[in-house]
Chain A
């Protein structure tokens, strides 16, 4: 994985629910603190674009999908468990590798 490859997150929500707002806050916070590469967080509101739900196999809200780098990773929920999110997105290993 090259350093300059940017990360891309898609956060699927359905309206501005507390859970979704919390999830967005959390992923923004974690990325800022731990992700040393470029990253994009895209928020997709399924109330506006319901047809997108099928492509990414979304059934739970909120769902965070790591579109890049591959492989695709999915985390559902409000992302309140930091350790689990970082582990799930492989952010720790990237950071650790960078530090070396």
Chain B
């Protein structure tokens, strides 16, 4: 089975007989942990949640507690062969089954296979009278019966605090819940207990006092109309853990968490050179192109043919029979293909042959981390050799400078780790040629190669030119080269001696540009 995720550079292959505590085998000093099966979460926790102990997951309504918990159970069954019990205090079995169907979890099937047992504990205040002393032994018996009937190793209690809204005697409830957690420990099942976020406490009834092993807090907030989910390990007794707030995503595949801490500069590099796709541009690099696994930034104002340069690179990669993942934040796939075909770049055959995948989305669709997570996911699934982000400046508008830089660093790191060659375009401010936008500032020191593209107005015309600002580990031409765009593509002019004297002739080749901006020859 292929290991879930490149977010998580897991050093093992999962096989169902291996059991849960893979990490214990690696390091006997760390107490046993149970893998959650949630991409990224195991990495932050150093292998999962405490094996055979309760873990509290708290968060406000809609923060993803139930989904995270159910994924823990399902992955336990499907990947580690550990049956699980889901005790629901809120949703009915039917509702729950339906709600998680969209994530591809088939609860009915697993129940039929006796791998999963769902028990809905309905606490209706209107149906129940209380008089005198009682305990929750009935709940214990139910849970015990459910666990024993399928040999469960994992248990979820979602949300046990509902008992407090159904029953009046909080004194009894508190002591019984404390006893329940103790009982679960003795039973040796790995348990997730969910709890609703309280005003001043992590959970309304202060469950965090009883669950002292591991507490995970989920948060759902909206900043500038963009919703972001975050996760934080509040406490993990006896284990080191990531302390940051980690963004996480819930999509059709369930929950995935993005660990930020895995920033290391340890990637292996390649000396192989690959073409930029533009013959004239290759010549400007002493090596004749980019290094494989390099990152390249192409900056310029609107209409300076950044996308065309990116499309060339994509085309060339496809021609080498290498997969390309093209993230388009401004044009739809169809529009992109049509526009670049007008300058002789025909991408459609490669889309058909599945070498090229264009993924288009609006930058404002998600927060910054969500974009990064979705990039990660797509990269993980498609396993491209080359990725193109066009333009990366779109992402930058949705976050603060610090955030953007951190995100880009993480992205670069991930790409380098997987030897993925990347090209980013970035849109600069139209008016000021020397102005370096936030994107340049944030990104230019991170990338290996930087190409600037310009449009200059001279004598009633616009002249296209480009030059290489930097190229790590490779000599490059320092000339500013004019270029033209014809219906057969980019043509880089030979170095023009007259240019050095400040006289430039508008190049005749240019009849129109691929960006739809018409120029008169």
- A interface vs B, CB < 8 Å? 12, 14, 19, 22-23, 46-47, 50-51, 53-54, 57-63, 72-81, 84-85, 87-88
Contacts and interface: CB of A to CB of B under 8 A. Distances in A.
* 8 A-B pairs closest in CB distance: A78-B132, A80-B132, A50-B145, A88-B129, A77-B132, A61-B137, A59-B139, A81-B131
Residue from the set A58, A60, A79 with the largest chain B CB neighbour count within 10 Å: A60
A40 to B, nearest CB: 20
Contact of B134 (A19, A54, A73, A87): A19
13 contacts: A14-B138, A47-B141, A54-B142, A57-B122, A59-B121, A59-B138, A59-B142, A60-B134, A60-B137, A61-B134, A62-B134, A63-B134, A72-B127
A43 B129 CA distance: 19
B130 interface: yes
Contacts of A79: 131-132
Contact of A84 (B119, B129, B137, B141): B129
Nearest to A19: B133
Contact of A19 (B119, B123, B135, B141): B135
Q: How large is the interface on B (under 10, 10 to 19, 20 to 34, 35 or more residues)?
A: 20 to 34
Contact of A59 (B136, B144, B145): B136
Given A57-B121, A60-B135, A75 B129 contact: yes
B155 to A, nearest CB: 15
Contacts of B517: none
Given A50-B145, A53-B141, A76-B128, A61 B136 contact: yes
Contacts of B136: 59-61
A72 B123 CA distance: 14
Given A53-B138, A59-B138, A59-B142, A74 B133 contact: no
Contact of A74 (B129, B132, B137, B144): B129
A22 B131 CA distance: 12
B144 A75 contact: no
A92 B136 CA distance: 29
B138 A85 contact: no
Contacts of B142: 50, 53-54, 58-59
A53 B120 CA distance: 11
B77 to A, nearest CB: 21
Nearest to A85: B131
A76 B130 contact: yes
Given A62-B134, A76-B167, 20 more contacts: A14-B138, A51-B145, A53-B142, A53-B145, A58-B138, A59-B136, A59-B138, A59-B139, A59-B142, A60-B134, A60-B139, A61-B136, A63-B138, A74-B129, A76-B131, A77-B132, A77-B134, A79-B132, A80-B133, A88-B129
